[in-house]
């Protein structure tokens, strides 16, 4: 079961295992998404990770007494409930609350999993609300529901929502923060990929940071008509690009800088919402200095790079040629 879930929701599982390890688990989560996307299984896996006596590689073993009791739904500190008939009634929630308060040892961990949470009656939901707001001891509640829109907004707003249909942005952002990625690079990275392993690779040894900085420098020189833009390509940018994937990423970043500039040219208020936040001062300056026709001509040039890459022309040759071409647009 552990392996299966790790396969269907690798990102979510990985992130939650790290969250548990760092003791950053929140009071309440709402797991939502299509039926069968692994919401219940991931909640149980997190509970197992919390109680397992034999954690291997930051994963629960699935074999120890604690793990087995959770899998059999018989663990006293992991209480699971689902609709009794058509709804989850207030008595069911009250019963669990009572059970938790009598058995709670100060500081001990409890997990509460509610399946089909959209079927809670208003009374049950209100009773749960108090419980989420004033938990007894260390309790984490997992609400599981394929229909988030049917859950009372007051409940939803007090949970951290994890969408199992796609990779959850909030979780990704938390992981990026844990990786030490500064907020100025976060949105840019997330606009390029949703894959955490991919981002981990990019930010290793500050590679992404170095590349972005050099591209910003290149852009600044280029738009000033400064011929030093060419040696930046040869000596600073190219050594950072050792394979096709990295080259394509660099190209995406280049196009992003120019698009952000275009955005700011038309609307200076857009500066705070551009993707390339670390290039903000340069983009702001360039947008105010260059003409729209220069900008559009440069973007036209850059957009043909992709086609050239497809016919296997060397990236350095293309980027050098484009640099020289764009320089002529800006030379004074
Ligand atoms: Zn175990």
Predicted confidence (pLDDT) per residue in 241-271, tens digit: 998 889 989 998 998 899 889 888 888 778 8
Cα-to-centroid distance, 132 and ligand 1 (Å): 27
pTM: 0.54
Contact 220, 231 (CB under 8 A): no
Average pLDDT over residues 290-302: 89
Summarised one tens digit per residue, pLDDT across range 174-199 is 888 888 888 888 888 887 876 777 88
pLDDT score for 38: 83
Tell me how far apart the alpha carbons of residues 151 and 153 are, in angstroms, rounded to a whole number. 6
Which residue spans of the chain are classified as CATH 3.40.50.300?
2-166
pLDDT band (50, 70, 90) for residue 331:
confident
Cα separation, 124 vs 178, whole angstroms: 36
51 CA distance to ligand 1 centroid (A)? 7
CA of 72 to the centre of ligand 1 (A): 13
43 has a pLDDT exceeding 90:
yes
As a whole number, the mean pLDDT across the chain is 87
Q: For residue 193, what pLDDT is reported?
A: 78
C-alpha 178 to ligand 1 mean position (Å): 26
Confidence (pLDDT) at 233: 96
Is the CB of residue 311 less than 8 Å from the CB of residue 291?
Answer: no
Report in angstroms the alpha-carbon separations of 113 from 39, 43, 134, 255: 11, 7, 17, 46
The percent helix, strand, coil of the chain (3-state, each to 5) is 65, 10, 25
Q: Give distance in angstroms: CA of 139 to centre of ligand 1.
A: 20
In the reported structure, the alpha carbon of residue 70 is separated from the centroid of ligand 1 by a whole-number distance in angstroms of 9
Q: What whole-number distance in Å separates Cα of residue 215 and Cα of residue 210?
A: 9
Cα of 105 vs centre of ligand 1, distance in Å, is 21
If you average pLDDT over residues 310-317, what whole number do you get? Answer: 80
Q: What is the model's pLDDT at position 272?
A: 84
| pLDDT (tens digit per residue) in 23-42 | 889 889 999 987 667 899 99
**Domain 2-166, CATH:** 3.40.50.300
Measured in angstroms, how far is the CA atom of residue 27 from the centroid of ligand 1? 23
* C-alpha angle 6-10-13 in degrees, rounded to nearest 5: 75
- Whose tokens are 């559009």? That residue is 296
Give the Cα separation of 263 and 296 in Å (integer): 12
Confidence of residue 286 (pLDDT cuts 50, 70, 90): very high
* Alpha carbon of 2 to ligand 1 centroid (Å): 11
Task: Quote the pLDDT of residue 229.
Answer: 96
**Which run of H or E residues covers position 254?**
helix 244-266
Question: How many angstroms does the Cα of residue 53 sit away from the middle of ligand 1?
Answer: 5
Write down the pLDDT at residue 216. Answer: 97
């Amino acid at each position: 079961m552990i392996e299966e879930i790790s396969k269907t929701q690798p990102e979510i599982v990985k992130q939650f295992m790290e969250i548990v390890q760092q003791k950053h688990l929140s009071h309440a989560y709402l797991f939502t998404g299509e039926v069968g996307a692994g919401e219940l299984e991931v909640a149980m896996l997190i509970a197992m990770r919390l109680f397992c006596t034999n954690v291997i590689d930051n994963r629960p073993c699935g074999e120890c007494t604690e793990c087995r009791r959770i899998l059999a739904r018989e663990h006293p500190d992991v209480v699971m409930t689902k609709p009794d008939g058509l709804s989850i009634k207030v008595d069911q929630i009250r019963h669990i609350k009572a059970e938790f308060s009598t058995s709670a040892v100060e500081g001990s961990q409890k997990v509460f999993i509610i399946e089909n949470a959209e079927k809670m009656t208003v009374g049950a939901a209100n009773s749960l609300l108090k419980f989420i707001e004033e938990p007894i001891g260390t309790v984490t509640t997992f609400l599981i529901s394929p229909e988030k829109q049917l859950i009372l907004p007051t409940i939803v707003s007090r949970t951290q929502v994890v969408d199992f249909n796609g990779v959850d942005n909030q979780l990704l952002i938390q992981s990026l923060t844990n990786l030490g990625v500064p907020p100025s690079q976060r949105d840019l990275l997330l606009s390029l990929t949703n894959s955490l392993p991919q981002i981990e690779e990019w930010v290793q040894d500050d590679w992404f940071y170095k590349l972005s900085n050099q591209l910003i420098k290149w852009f600044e020189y280029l738009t000033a008509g400064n011929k030093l833009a060419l040696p930046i390509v040869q000596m600073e940018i190219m050594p950072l690009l050792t394979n096709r994937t990295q080259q394509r990423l660099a190209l995406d970043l280049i196009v992003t800088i120019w698009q952000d500039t275009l955005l700011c040219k038309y609307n200076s208020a857009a500066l705070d919402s551009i993707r390339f936040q670390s290039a903000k001062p340069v983009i702001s300056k360039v947008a105010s200095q260059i003409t729209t026709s220069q900008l559009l001509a440069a973007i036209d040039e850059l957009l043909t790079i992709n086609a050239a890459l497809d016919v296997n022309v060397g990236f350095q040759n293309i980027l050098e040629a484009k640099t020289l071409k764009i320089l002529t647009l800006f030379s004074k």
